[in-house]
Amino acid sequence: MALQRIHALLLLLLLTMLGLVQPSYGQDRMYQRFLRQHVDPEGTGGNDAYCNLMMQRRKMTMRQCKHVNTFIHEDIWNIRSICSTTNIQCKNGKMNCHEGVVKVTDCRETGSSRTPNCRYRALASTRRVVIACEGNPEMPVHFDR
């Protein structure tokens, strides 16, 4: 997991130095946040223990328990390829969303836990997701639904 993240960062750095990718600081920060919150290519997910561990490990239980989060179990290149599909409308009305079918684990807070000991229920599936993409080339920056 960490090795894949390092490889992705090194590739992004190399492409940036070659001038093939020119992310703005804000877009890069949003992309990194997307990776931290939603991408786990090595994971299989599917159970409550997975959600409890990953939500804490990915720092989504520090100030308060994040109510809902989705982890995508696909290679980052497969996720980035969703950005090349037809634009659709996001929940906020913008037209920078794209949809694709991926393996996911949805983590839902049980409602009875308190930070930092947040507790989650897991649901693993293969389903349609919608992500917002920005930049040139477009990269995922927000999990819309």
Cα separation, 56 vs 72, in Å, equals 16
Q: Which residues of the chain carry a pLDDT beneath 50?
A: 9, 12-23
**Per-residue model confidence (pLDDT) at position 8:** 55
142 a catalytic residue: yes
pLDDT of residue 112: 85
Contacts of 122 (CB under 8 A, 6+ apart): 45, 46, 47, 48, 50, 51, 105, 106, 107
**pTM for the predicted model, two decimal places:** 0.79
Name the residue ranges covered by the structural domains of the chain: 25-143
Active-site entry in 7, 73, 98, 142: 142
- Angle among Cα 107, 41, 61 to the nearest 5 degrees reads 35
User: pLDDT tens, 41-73?
Assistant: 988 878 999 999 999 999 999 899 999 999 999
> 104: part of which helix (H) or strand (E)?
strand 97-109
Top-tier CATH class for 25-143: alpha beta
* Active-site annotation holder among 38, 67, 73, 98: 38
